[in-house]
Every structure is written in C-alpha cells, then in structure tokens.
Amino acid sequence: MESICESNKQYRRQMLIWAVTYCVVTYASVYTLKNAGIEHFGLRTLIALTPMLPIAWVGVIIMRFIRSLDELQQKMQFEAVVFSAVMTGLLTGAYGFMEGVGYPKLDTIWILPMLMIFWVIGQALARRRYK
C-alpha cells in the first residue's frame, strides 16, 4: 500500500503540473479567440471550451487523492465538501434573488472558484474540529 506521505507528495506534484497546464491552455484559448480571426461559431465554441479539459482532469486528480486518504481524512474532506456546497448554494441562491430586485447579473464562472474557496475553509474547520 502506498504511504499517505507518498500520496501527498504525488498529489502536490500532479497539482503543480495541472496548474501550469491549465494556465497554458486557458491563455492559448483566449489568445486564439481574440487574435486568430476565427469566425465559425462552432469552432469558436470548441476553442472556448478547451480549458474544461484540464478542469475535468483536476477532478480525476482530486478523486484519486481522496481515495488514498485514511478514514478520518476522508470524513474531513466529506464535511468540507458539504460545507462548501451549502455555503455556495446559500450565497448563489441569495444573490439570485437579489438579481431579481435589480442587482447586477454575475457571471456563473465565479461559482467554481467559490466552491474551491469554501472547500478550503471547510477543510480548516474540519481540521480544527478533530484536533
């Protein structure tokens, strides 16, 4: 069985490679859409969606990492994910109603970073609970 320490190292390495790949792909996508003069709507859609490939890949990396954790760490991750889902649901739901009374429309692209931020906060709270 792979040790937890080795899994952590491997996870950090994979996340670093992922972050670099995501930045390169996103930059290339935006640059191509702005400068390549592509008019075809279908092709522009495909190019706009290319950053979703590394995003799907990070999902696989995270799932593998969580499977490598021990039972308490998995429980803590579960609590953190639930916290993140609840907080994101509350905030996006509340803002959705506020948009109904005239607040400016916000881009849905902010939902994923919001989930990630609340996930990190949830992890810190879980760590404190089981200390």
Partner 1 sequence: MKNSLKELRTEAGWSQVALGEKLGVSRQTIIALENGKYDPSLKLAFSLAKVFERRIEDIFTNE
Interface positions with partner 1 (CB under 8 A) = 1, 3-4, 69-73, 75, 127, 129-131
Closer to partner 1 by Cβ: residue 1 or 101: 1
Nearer to partner 1 by Cβ, of 110 and 130: the residue is: 130
Closest separation in Å from C-beta 111 to partner 1: 30
Q: What's the min distance (Å) between Cβ of 71 and partner 1?
A: 5
Of the candidates 76, 24, 74, 69, which has an alpha carbon nearest to the alpha carbon of residue 50? 24
CB 81 within 8 Å of CB 119: yes
| Residue number with CB closer to partner 1 (75 or 99) | 75
Residue with smaller CB distance to partner 1, 34 or 129: 129
Radius of gyration of the chain from Cα atoms? 19
Q: Residues 50, 25: contact at Cβ < 8 Å?
A: yes
Closest approach, Cβ 65 to partner 1, in A, equals 13
Shortest spacing between CB 17 and partner 1, in angstroms: 24
Q: Pick between residue 40 and residue 128 the one whose CB is nearest to partner 1.
A: 128
Least spacing, CB of residue 4 vs partner 1, in Å: 5
Q: In this structure, what is the dihedral angle of CA atoms 107, 109, 114, 120, given to the nearest 10 degrees?
A: -170
- Residue 76's CB: how many other CB atoms inside 10 A? 19
From 73, 90, 84, select the one nearest 130 (Cα to Cα): 73
DSSP assignment letter at 109: G
